Amino acid sequence: MSEIVLTEDCMRLISQFERLTGAGSRDCVIDDRNNRLIFVVNPGEMGLAIGKKGASIKKAMEVMGKKIEVVEYSPSPEQFLKNCFLPAQVIAVGFETEDDGQVAHIEVRPEDRGIAIGKEGKNIFKAKKLALRQHNISDVSLVTEEEA
């Protein structure tokens, strides 16, 4: 399993995020391409991170000056990937070992495909980045029902 190396910036952001929301965070990705911060929160702390009617996350976005996305951690790679793609509904998750590592194949409802990919591919980018950091999964691909 690859060790997650947190930069000084990430550690500072995690500390600030935890102070603002009360939710524990185990990872932070600074995504400059999409001008956002992605936090992986501890299992069961998603509610804390978001807050009542989104108050905590809105406050954190104002203070930190960037869009913030949160993904709930799960020790199960399958569940973690499902969490990465929310609100898209994942129907199935399959794993395949290839030369360059483990690849996850994600099947979502056809009507959720756009949500799963995200604007300019930002959601699939998030899933690939987090899957590698949290579960050492080298690639994530979306499959349609016909391919599954």
Give the model's pLDDT for residue 98: 87
Give the model's pLDDT for residue 1: 44
Sequence-ordered list of residues with C-beta below 8 angstroms from that of 92, at least 6 positions apart, any chain = 106, 107, 148
Provide the H-helix boundaries in the chain. 8-21, 46-50, 55-64, 77-85, 113-117, 122-135
pTM: 0.91
What are the structure tokens assigned to 106, written together?
């994600």
Give the model's pLDDT for residue 114: 95
Q: Report, as ranges of residue numbers, the positions in the chain whose pLDDT lies below 50.
A: 1, 148
29 close to 68: Cβ distance less than 8 angstroms: no
Question: Per-residue pLDDT tens for 16-36?
Answer: 999 999 999 999 999 999 999
For 28, phi then psi, to 5°, come to -145, 135
139 close to 128: Cβ distance less than 8 angstroms: yes
C-beta neighbour count of 145 within 10 angstroms: 11
What are the structure tokens assigned to 15, written together?
């500390």
Domains of the chain: 8-72 (3.30.300.20), 87-143 (3.30.300.20)
What is the full DSSP assignment across 54-84?
GHHHHHHHHHHTSEEEEEE--SSHHHHHHHH
Give the model's pLDDT for residue 83: 97
Give the model's pLDDT for residue 145: 67
